[in-house]
Copies of this chain bind each other. A is one copy, B any other.
Amino acid sequence: MQIVCLDLEGVLVPEIWIEFSQRTQIPELSKTTRDEPNYDKLMRERTEILNRHRLGLSDIQNVIGGMCPIPGAREFLNELRKRMQVVILSDTFYEFASPLMAQLDWPTLFCHHLEVNASGYIADYHLRIPDHKRASVAAFNTLNFNTIAVGDSYNDISMLSEAHTGIFFCPPANVIADFPQFRVKRSYNQLLNAIDEASAKN
């Protein structure tokens, strides 16, 4: 009995902050943990920038609603959901992801939560638990699933290591160089085959 844990950004949808920064033409918002490794500082900066530009949650959701999943992602996901159980494990926030989840036919998503104040602006962010991707895969292992995790970057390494099978999807070259132990797939067809293979082994 299989469960596939998929990263969201870079695997099924574009990097949300980067695309958001382009669509709103606010270059400061394209900063990621690569530029500012202190996540709390990064999130407080992002919140301050959004509020300064008078972007409330509904404005943000309108922008994100204009984004699309990566071409082929919806078809890949729908095919996969017919074959086995799928949970998306992401470090984004439910409030950001929901316009994209609607376009992906509402798969199950484990991520984090934004607090919005009475005026509709982002007041704070709440991480559900630290390293929730790894913790979720560990929980599925305990429930006696064969776990298959798919990600593209450093924040996926702990879940890829925890899973019975870890697979990279279109990762940057530096990520491959640092973690050569994970197989690399570069198209949804290749990925589906690799998942089927990992599933058949069990």
Contacts and interface: CB of A to CB of B under 8 A. Distances in A.
Given A105-B106, A108-B108, A139-B139, 8 more contacts: A1-B113, A85-B108, A86-B108, A87-B108, A110-B143, A129-B143, A132-B144, A135-B142
A78 interface: yes
Nearest to A139: B139
A5 to B, nearest CB: 11
Interface residues of A, number: 30
Contact of A139 (B78, B107, B113, B143): B143
A81 B110 contact: no
Contact of A142 (B109, B112, B139): B139
A129 B141 CA distance: 11
A132 B145 CA distance: 11
A188 interface: no
Interface of A: 1, 78, 81-82, 85-87, 94, 98, 102, 105-110, 112-113, 126, 128-129, 132, 135-136, 139-140, 142-145
Contacts of A109: 85
A135 B143 contact: yes
A100 to B, nearest CB: 13
A106 B102 CA distance: 14
Contacts of A145: 128
19 contacts: A1-B112, A1-B126, A82-B102, A85-B108, A85-B110, A87-B108, A105-B106, A107-B108, A108-B108, A110-B143, A128-B143, A129-B144, A132-B144, A135-B142, A135-B143, A136-B143, A139-B139, A139-B142, A139-B143
A86 B82 CA distance: 17
